[in-house]
Amino acid sequence: MRRPIVLVPACVNQIGAHPYHTAQLKYVAAVADGAHCAPLIIPALGAATDIEALLAVADGVMLTGSPSNVHAGLYGEALLDPSLPLDPARDATMLPLIRAAIQRGIPLLAICRGFQEMNVALGGTLHQAVHDVEGMADHREKKEHTLERQYAPAHRVLLEPGGRLAQILGGATGIMVNSLHGQGINRLAPTLAVEARADDGLVEAYRVEDAIGFTLAVQWHPEWRLSENPDSIKLFSAFGEACTEYQHHR
Ligand SMILES: N[C@@H](CCC(=O)NCCCC(=O)O)C(=O)O
């Protein structure tokens, strides 16, 4: 039996004189080693994407983090800081693909930017600068720190009792997570249910309520040093099992 195929979005990044489609190694490796699936990187072709062709081979979708932000125009706001990176090609590719994947019941795991873009795809909005919102903590990493420190556990999240995530994590009530984001959920999309919150109230994890398939989105980075974190291993294993299940019953 072949491994389940998991789509992983590419970002558009300028390298030297040319734009490239890129996917960060740690996400691709987490699909292979944590979920035991076959990662398939999909280009950010925007409106030229053949969503049906991609979903016809997909047993899962994993939405990655990225330094780029979802364009605020997609949730009806003006850009507060136009100097921050954007990726309109990824937005145009992934927002429709997310909606189509959920409709088909294809298992979906979303991380950081992916968590934010899924909320926008389903009608939610974002805080463009969480740290500037009254009462909210600063969820950004310190750029001057080593990567090791940037991705180290930074704050606690409290899990929704009886939720999908709490269940995957063996009934845990709270876990420590890393934190590397300037944006965050403002208004949660109507079809989403909160799975975890930070102490300042920011939504840190959600699922699609009444989804046919597995859906889980987290604001933190479980793909970082996956094999050293028992919570991340459980999360990726649960996603991989859902992809295997989908593959068997597709
Ligand atoms: N740009 C958004 C999303 C943040 C995000 O995904 N950061 C991860 C970047 C590096 C990585 O992939 O590990 C925001 O700032 O909120």
pLDDT range class, residue 110, cuts 50, 70, 90: very high
Most informative mutation of 64, 74, 113, 120 for ligand 1 (most atoms within 8 A of CB): 113
221 lines ligand 1 (CB under 6 A): yes
Distance 67 CA to ligand 1 centre (A): 4
179 lines ligand 1 (CB under 6 A): no
Tell me the per-residue pLDDT of 79-88, one tens digit each, with 9 for 90 and over.
999 999 999 9
Percentage above 90 pLDDT, the chain: 99
234 has pLDDT over 90: yes
Give yes or no for a contact between 68 and 87, defined as CB atoms under 8 angstroms apart.
Answer: yes
Report the predicted TM-score, pTM, of the whole model to 2 decimal places: 0.98
Q: How far is CA 114 from CA 2, 185, 205, 228, in A?
A: 26, 12, 11, 23
54 has pLDDT over 90: yes
Q: Residue 127 has what pLDDT?
A: 98
How far is Cα 238 from Cα 222, in angstroms, rounded to an integer? 13
Among all residues, which ones are annotated catalytic? 112, 221, 223
Average pLDDT over residues 239-249: 98
Minimal-distance CA residue to ligand 1 atom 10: 66
24 lines ligand 1 (CB under 6 A): yes
Average pLDDT over residues 168-185: 98
183 lines ligand 1 (CB under 6 A): yes
Distance 2 CA to ligand 1 centre (A): 32
Q: Residue 6 has what pLDDT?
A: 99
How far is Cα 181 from Cα 183, in angstroms, rounded to an integer? 6
Give yes or no for a contact between 208 and 192, defined as CB atoms under 8 angstroms apart.
Answer: yes
Tell me the per-residue pLDDT of 144-175, one tens digit each, with 9 for 90 and over.
999 999 999 999 999 999 999 999 999 999 99
Nearest-5° Cα angle at 100, 201 to 47: 105
Distance 165 CA to ligand 1 centre (A): 21
Average pLDDT over residues 183-212: 98
250 has pLDDT over 90: no
Average pLDDT over residues 20-46: 98
66 lines ligand 1 (CB under 6 A): yes
Say what the ipTM of the complex is: 0.99
Distance 183 CA to ligand 1 centre (A): 9
Question: What is residue 130's three-state secondary structure?
Answer: helix
Q: Residue 1 has what pLDDT?
A: 85
128 has pLDDT over 90: yes
